[in-house]
Amino acid sequence: MLYSAPVKWKSKFSVRMIGGLTGYALGLVVLNHFDAAQPPHRYWLVIFPLLPLIYVVNTIVRHTSELDEMWRKIVTEAMAFSGLATGFTCFTYLFLRDMGAPEFRPEWAFYLMFAYYGVGGYFSRRRYQ
């Protein structure tokens, strides 16, 4: 789960997240299927997995807005820490790259955000207990 707050399995947010992530997986299948044929407008195919991700983001924002005040503050602080720490890490890596470090692949930034969200959530929860 994205949040540490207890969530019921049959809650509307769980169903929406499963639906959105299933749509994302199906969008990736459609993208890979049609991209193999190299159609002339293949760059528009990126919309297939992107639309379900927008739905997932909307679901996360709605879930966060319906949390109680303390959990909302914890989640918001963790997300702010995650975004800022990821940005500064990626910016700092530019200097390391100039010194000969290996290439920084874009998906690593996404993994960094999850790791930093966990760190930020841990320290934010500790502060409010």
* 62 and 74 co-located in one domain: no
Task: Name which residue leads in pLDDT, 71 or 34.
Answer: 71
Which of 66, 96, 113 marks a domain boundary?
66
Q: Are residues 52 and 84 in the same domain?
A: no
Query: What is the tally of structural domains in the chain?
Result: 2
Residues 23, 55: contact at Cβ < 8 Å? Answer: yes
pLDDT score, position 1: 45
pLDDT band at 45 (very low <50, low <70, confident <90, very high): confident
The verdict on 28 and 78 lying in the same domain is no
Q: What is the mean pLDDT of residues 5-25?
A: 82
Q: What rounded mean pLDDT belongs to the chain?
A: 88
State whether 74 and 60 are in the same domain.
Answer: no
Domain holding 93, by residue range, is 68-129
**pLDDT (0 to 100) of residue 2:** 52
In a shared domain, residues 57 and 117: no
- Summarised one tens digit per residue, pLDDT across range 78-118 is 999 999 999 999 999 989 988 988 888 888 898 999 999 99
Do 112 and 59 fall within a single domain? Answer: no
pLDDT value at residue 35: 76
Contacts of 124 (CB under 8 A, 6+ apart): 73, 74, 77, 78, 81
Residue 29 pLDDT exceeds 80? yes
Give the residue with greater pLDDT, 11 vs 27.
Answer: 27
Mean pLDDT of 6-12: 63
Give the domain-ending residue among 41, 66, 91. 66
- For the chain, the DSSP string reads --SSS---TTSHHHHHHHHHHHHHHHHHHHHHHHHTT--TTGGGGGHHHHHHHHHHHHHHHHHHHTS-HHHHHHHHHHHHHHHHHHHHHHHHHHHHHHTTPPP--HHHHHHHHHHHHHHHHHHHHHHT-
